[in-house]
Chains A and B, each alone.
Chain A
Amino acid sequence: MNTVEETIEIAVPVRTAYDQWTQVACFPRFMTTVKRVEQIRPTVTLWVLGLGPVRREFATEVVDQVPDSHLTWRSLGQRHGHRGEVTFRPTGAGGTALTVRMSAEPRGLTGVLTALPAATGRVLRRELANFKTYVEGHGEASGAWRGTVRDGQVRPTEPEPPRSRVPAWPVG
């Protein structure tokens, strides 16, 4: 496994930075390599990444997620396998230290990226800077998902999230 890690300090409280990070469908608005993100459910997301002429599509699963603390994910499927973690720590100045760590098998786009730590570090650094600009510029998160995930499952929360309000009567 190849690993890259980048940290950035953001001048918003942890809660704001975390909440914005949960809005992955917005990432293409400010990240240049993220072309499309589709949220299938809280734990499953489809990503399309692009770097130059290369496009890669994959699904990820959130494995563990604790609000204002951390989120770990892994890719689904055998190809382009990678795992990742993002952590949020408060800084003394009331901001957030956000750290992303990604490990990938040395194949596929993400594998190629992580096989070149310097280049990948640059891409990741640039995207985190984009995230910083976005969230600092807005000063608030564009949305939030405050659920907790353990072992890939959303843990029961109160009150019931609005998204789950769908027809629940028996279907024949």
Chain B
Amino acid sequence: MKKPPRDEPRDDLSVTPPKTWAAGVPAVVHALEYSLEQTAPKETAVDLLTMNQVGGIDCPGCAWADPAPGHRHRNEYCENGAKHINDEATTRRITADFFRAHPVSDLAGRSDLWLNQQGRLTEPMVKRPGSDHYEPVSWREALDLLAGELRALDSPDEAVFYTSGRVSNEAAFVLQLFARAFGTNNLPDCSNMCHESSGFALHETLGTGKGTVGLQDLHHADLIFLVGQNPGTNHPRQLSALEQAKRNGARVVAVNPLPEAGLLRFKNPQKVRGVIGQGVRIADRFLHIRPGGDLALFQALNRLLLEAEDARPGHVLDHAFIRDSTSGFEEFAALVRQTSWDDVLEATGLTREEIEQVRDEVLNSSRVVVCWAMGITQHKHGVPTIREIVNFLLLRGNLGRAGTGACPVRGHSNVQGDRTMGIWEQMPDSFLDALREEFGFDPPRAHGLDSVDSIRAMRQGRIKVFLGVAGNFVRAAPDSAVTEEAMRGCRLTAHVSTKLNRSHTVCGRTALILPTLGRTERDHQTGGEQFVTVENSMSEVHTSRGRLKPASSLLLSEVAILCRLARRTLGQGPGNIHWDEFEADYHTIRDRISRIVPGLHDFNRRVARPGGIRLPNPVNEGVYRTATGKAVFSRNTWQAPDVPEGHLLLQTLRSHDQWNTIPYTLNDRYRGIHGSRRVVMVNPVDLSALSLAEGDRVDVVGVWHDDTERRAEGFEVVPYPTARGSAAAYYPETQVLVPLDSVADISNQPTSKGIVVRLERVTP
């Protein structure tokens, strides 16, 4: 184990050609290197060998599904999962001495990387009003303080309770129960910022908020679309599923503004042929699309399919399916037939021939899966884009059959489960009624605030208390300067966390750090050793059981913190909620969940089985809970973003050495960026047009229709094969450029993949 860094890492950029393949031996080397920097060989071995195994630790990283029990590799994890779990299992510790040496004002000037590298939080800390230091505080005083502030509010709606996707089902259920018993639906979550557009679009068109595919479907698809996603970095285990699909004969069409290594070729480091061979080519076709051009692409494909049907009636569309199981086809078809090729080619940056070749791929395939991620959802027209993808799937009956379906690829291990547990500001009455029946209190019915609206409310002084359970809200949220100012206006900010991050340094008048157990750690309660449950992106609910000794004896589990807080805040009321029981034994929470969340009946018994519970998707049962009772063809229109001459459309993205808001190093080896994150990647042709050259220093300046200047300073220009007219730079450093009001229609999700910017040269 290496000691935590005292100083900030030095920026020293070097650029090498982007990689054309992902994983392989370097992935193993980098994973082990980072793991052993963070922790001891024994801990590394324990957590890696139990990770994603039956009865083991669920990787706190992405939400990709595990293979069925009996089919898992002994090392069932990826490079980024290994880094992520050992980043949590680190043996570095932050003590009270650390906070004595580093006032909040000092910490606020530190980088995300430096803060994370200091190690695990070990005891509760408070920053009192007027003080520039966190100081130790007992759990009792910390929770009394928080409960006191909550009780002192004029209205429960002056508090927000934020959740990140690391939170277990049990903690999520307890949190939403507490918030609603307290009297508010203010339950923003990280979903609001990643796949909210998917949820709204799928719910409206298919009557389900979740993806319809399982691993089996990917394995047996004829054609797989990977749209607006980077599996090599963000969901590396998806590459194993794609490898299997390819070996079964599938073809893959990748659609992305950047030719990411993981989209091109995969060398599976767990197989000999991946170590010494050439690996598997992933994308048979790569569409180098402009950011946000995906709606136009799918509309063009849909038009081409309709025209193919005209040419060969009865041979292209699935008429029986359209007739029996869908609504709105005629209206949809009438609109799509008017799609203008000029507009499509302008929006996508593709040629008509490229799109027609994909049409041919579709016509040659009887089973199609479309996968997508935030390259789709984080655009102003994210919801219509996903609705158009659904149209595309419906036309040829690519839903509900084996080897077909819609696959939103979610990025945080339990982000889907938290929503299943009721973490949503707009939960339907059926759920709230079930809470009332079970617990004997009447939950509030007025919709609460999502993430963007929470920040708006904080700015207006309407929110006094912010509690974040896991995550790094300040860095995940858009418009960094605005968000930070809003947070600082709170009376109290509190974070339940495992490690230090910037959210702890952007304090309300009073601030609390409530340190908690990580996924990797054993969780002993008075009812015995506990496990928690999570739900992956394919609706499989299973257990996660920590194996390591906790980082400190003063850590409490998330469930324990929330139960104790609830007790202190609510006293004996309302209703009959036994917080003590919940804290002592999580089985009692799951018993309650089983009576409230449809599909999780008999939860404790069923989740204990190897592989856990597979929640059915109604679409695969022939059920569409939409307004028409059928799958809905939708009519979608779009407007290309107005990018003035001399400007670019910026998308924010993660580096390979990064998990969500936390970079592990300054490197991004797949893209060939080393030693710095303050880079902006631009197509060489655009650079010439902008009279910029490699190595120029620029400020990236956001353009938005308010008078606020949003500026990310001191970036180095890197020529990179981004799609023409676009640029890419790392998140969260460029979150400062995403206006709070630049949100996706309908879903209110920040548009972090479609920001108009200009590059201003900085003279050294």
Contact = CB atoms under 8 A, between A and B. Distances in A.
Nearest to B197: A172
Query: Which of A61, A78, A153 has the largest number of chain B CB atoms within 10 A?
Result: A153
B209 A169 contact: yes
Nearest to A158: B629
Contacts of B625: 168
B622 A156 contact: yes
Query: Which of B68, B400, B539 has the largest number of chain A CB atoms within 10 A?
Result: B400
A154 B401 CA distance: 8
Contact of A76 (B403, B616, B629): B403
Contact of B599 (A42, A155, A166, A172): A166
A44 B218 CA distance: 13
B188 to A, nearest CB: 10
A144 interface: no
Interface of A: 38, 40-44, 46, 59, 61, 76-78, 147, 150-157, 160-161, 163-172
Given A167-B209, A170-B202, A171-B416, A160 B196 contact: no
Contacts of B621: 41-42, 147, 154, 161, 163-164
Interface stretch (B144-152, B317-325, B691-699): B317-325
Given A41-B620, A77-B248, A169-B209, 16 more contacts: A41-B621, A43-B400, A44-B216, A59-B216, A59-B220, A61-B403, A153-B622, A154-B620, A157-B623, A166-B617, A167-B597, A168-B203, A169-B426, A171-B191, A171-B210, A172-B195
Interface in B597-620: 597-599, 614-618, 620
Given A166-B615, A167-B597, A172 B189 contact: yes
A45 to B, nearest CB: 10
Nearest to A38: B68
Contact of B220 (A38, A76, A157, A171): A76
B199 A171 contact: yes
Nearest to B629: A156
A170 B220 contact: no
A153 B599 CA distance: 22
A160 to B, nearest CB: 5
A170 to B, nearest CB: 3
Nearest to B201: A170
A78 B244 CA distance: 12
Contacts of B542: none
15 contacts: A38-B68, A41-B617, A42-B621, A147-B621, A154-B620, A154-B621, A156-B324, A161-B621, A164-B618, A164-B623, A167-B597, A169-B199, A171-B420, A172-B198, A172-B747
Sort A-B residue pairs by CB-CB distance and give the 5 closest, nearest first: A172-B191, A170-B199, A154-B622, A166-B599, A171-B209
B203 A166 contact: no
B85 interface: no
B622 A157 contact: yes
B630 interface: yes
Contacts of B209: 167-171
B103 to A, nearest CB: 36
Interface in B237-276: 248-249
Contacts of B399: 153
A157 B620 CA distance: 12
A64 B321 CA distance: 13
A169 B598 CA distance: 11
Contacts of A161: 621, 623
Contact of A40 (B193, B214, B401, B623): B214
A149 to B, nearest CB: 8
Interface string B472-499: 0000000000000000000000000000
B518 interface: no
B424 interface: yes
Nearest to B192: A172
Contacts of A167: 209-210, 419-420, 597-599, 615
A76 B216 contact: yes
B597 to A, nearest CB: 6
Nearest to B367: A152
Contacts of A77: 219-220, 248
A21 to B, nearest CB: 19
A161 B621 CA distance: 8
B198 A153 contact: no
B400 A154 contact: yes
Given A152-B401, A155-B325, A171-B210, A41 B200 contact: no
Contacts of B190: 172
Contacts of A170: 196, 199-200, 202-203, 209, 419, 424
A40 B212 CA distance: 12
A42 B190 CA distance: 33
Contacts of B219: 76-77
Contacts of A42: 620-622
Given A41-B620, A163-B616, A172-B191, A152 B402 contact: yes
Contacts of A38: 68
B207 interface: yes
A161 to B, nearest CB: 6
